Amino acid sequence: DVKVTQSSRYLVKRTGEKVFLECVQDMDHENMFWYRQDPGLGLRLIYFSYDVKMKEKGDIPEGYSVSREKKERFSLILESASTNQTSMYLCASSVQSSGANVLTFGAGSRLTVL
């Protein structure tokens, strides 16, 4: 059974803290993505990666960075957390093809910044 695993389901952090959200997939997928999901705004793409050490900005990269040192792992980093980064964060992965390459999502990490 294919799986995307996010290390933390719930996190509570303080303003200014550095936050790491980890995502691991066991499907040998080339593409990995980080989205955040907020009521009324839907899922918005933060960053994605199509290969090890490669990354591209999504639609809302400000305040975030990412790391992909290994194919199976894609980390989202909040250098200095702020209250407006309180959200549900969803990691996803997909194969690299021009067909219907479906996203497989992790269960999500709900981050609260106080």
Residues near other proteins, by CB under 8 A: 4, 30-31, 33, 35, 40-45, 48, 50, 56, 58-59, 90, 94, 96-98, 100-108
Residue 48 or 74: the one with the smaller Cβ distance to other proteins is: 48
Contact 32, 23 (CB under 8 A): yes
Contact 109, 22 (CB under 8 A): no
Least distance to other proteins, CB of residue 73, Å: 18
Least distance to other proteins, CB of residue 42, Å: 4
**CA dihedral of residues 36, 74, 98, 44 (deg, nearest 10):** 10
Residue 56 or 79: the one with the smaller Cβ distance to other proteins is: 56
Residue 80 or 96: the one with the smaller Cβ distance to other proteins is: 96
CA-to-CA separations, 60 to 41, 46, 71, 105, in angstroms, rounded: 12, 5, 23, 19
